[in-house]
Structure 1
Amino acid sequence: MINYELTQHAREVLTKRKIKITWLEQVLAFPQRVETDATDPMLEHRMAEISEYENRVLRVIINSHINPIRVVTLFFDRKIRGKL
């Protein structure tokens, strides 16, 4: 299991968007795609399809340069659905 912490914003998003912790942890541990943020090199985008949720792509934005890694935000990314 990956050691991580959630920002207040990430906690709120989990609740508001009904994203399961297990889905978040799946993307952190087994991303299908990893990208560096276009504007902040400290941030990393990890993405994976969630089979339990119609194969929608969950994008998790983290700061991986600190320990534990910090989850900044997360959302289902409609733009890359079916493209992983």
Structure 2
Amino acid sequence: MGYGKQTRARPPLALIHIPLLTRWLLWAAEARANWLAIRSKAIDLNTICEVACRLIPLGAPPPSSKLERSEASRLLWNAERQAR
């Protein structure tokens, strides 16, 4: 966290912490690690992206990083219903 020098053109920069997005970033990293470790039921990179892109706008917390394909399909289906 830091602040820049105050100028006339722009205010100093400040870093902020957004807990929900931080949890989602950590979830995506853990889910990718599971996929890269070639876990048999791990979701692929496209599904990781799709789950995040559908659930973040709904304000939902991230699922387990050990999310399996069947559960990911169910989450995406429920997100589609909520978006309507």
Task: State the TM-score, normalizing by the size of structure 2.
Answer: 0.33
Structure with a larger share of its residues in helix: 2
Task: State the TM-score, normalizing by the size of structure 1.
Answer: 0.33
Structure with a larger share of its residues in strand: 1
Q: Which has the larger radius of gyration?
A: 2
